[in-house]
């Protein structure tokens, strides 16, 4: 009789389960995260996992919470709220770039702790910047939507290129060449932007957008 896979004998915590789930998500995306795959990775049974998480939705939320908690923990409290907003925004951008499934989960269940924590931190920093009460909700919504939207799109683009075994520089170079070949009278801005498209850095452009938002927000005071 073939030997059965050896089961783990140590205690299985929710933290260990969430870490294993995040690793599976990073490797294969949401489709790869099944309780069968999780039990195999953890060398345990279904019951040990269901003791800590109710279902896949609960597991995705817990993994997302863990990623966002690290981002918020890395953001230094106090100091200049404008710089803190840049730090939080870039931290979210990098986290979603490293874990593309996080962006989708944040938009799917906005009542979960992860997105609430994002709104609380960004909203609190806008309060510290003395944004007027009547503009606070719109300012927070615009900034959160920009951060998560751009971060999510950047992560999706990177995944598509990786799946096609493509190269970012080569892809941007090809698009820039097409833009540069357009009629400058019909597409004057696109024609001028072709060189910058080829050479731009995603993180720097993202932060430039955050700074534009912050400049606009400053005018509200």
Instruction: Encode 29-41 in three state secondary structure.
Output: CHHHCCHHHHHHH
- How does DSSP classify residue 17? H
The tens digit of pLDDT for each residue in 156-169 reads: 887 777 766 678 88
pTM: 0.85
Across the range 3-32, mean pLDDT stands at: 80
Is 21 within 8 Å of 35 (Cβ atoms)?
no
Percentage of residues in the chain having pLDDT higher than 70: 91
Instruction: Return the ∠ at Cα 25 (arms to 98 and 99), rounded to 5°.
Output: 15
The tens digit of pLDDT for each residue in 78-114 reads: 678 999 999 999 999 999 999 999 988 888 888 889 9
């Amino acid at each position: 009789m073939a030997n059965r896979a050896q089961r783990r004998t140590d205690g299985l915590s929710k933290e260990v389960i969430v870490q294993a789930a995040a690793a599976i998500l990073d490797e294969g995306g949401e489709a790869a995260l099944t309780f069968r795959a999780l039990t195999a990775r953890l060398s345990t049974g279904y019951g040990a996992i269901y003791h800590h998480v109710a279902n896949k939705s609960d597991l995705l939320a817990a993994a997302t919470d863990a990623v966002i908690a690290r981002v918020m923990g890395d953001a230094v409290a106090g100091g200049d709220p404008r710089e803190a907003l840049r730090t939080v925004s870039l931290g979210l951008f990098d986290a979603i770039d490293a874990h593309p499934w996080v962006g989708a989960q944040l938009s799917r269940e906005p009542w979960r702790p992860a997105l609430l924590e994002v709104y609380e931190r960004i909203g609190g920093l806008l309060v510290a910047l003395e944004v007027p009460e009547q503009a606070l909700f719109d300012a927070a919504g615009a900034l959160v939507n920009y951060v998560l939207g751009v971060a999510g799109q950047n992560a999706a683009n990177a995944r598509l290129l990786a799946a096609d075994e493509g190269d970012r520089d080569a892809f941007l170079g090809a698009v820039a060449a097409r833009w540069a070949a357009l009629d400058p009278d019909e597409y004057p801005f696109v024609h001028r932007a072709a060189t910058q498209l080829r050479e731009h850095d995603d993180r720097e452009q993202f932060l430039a957008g955050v700074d534009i938002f912050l400049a606009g927000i400053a005018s509200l005071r």
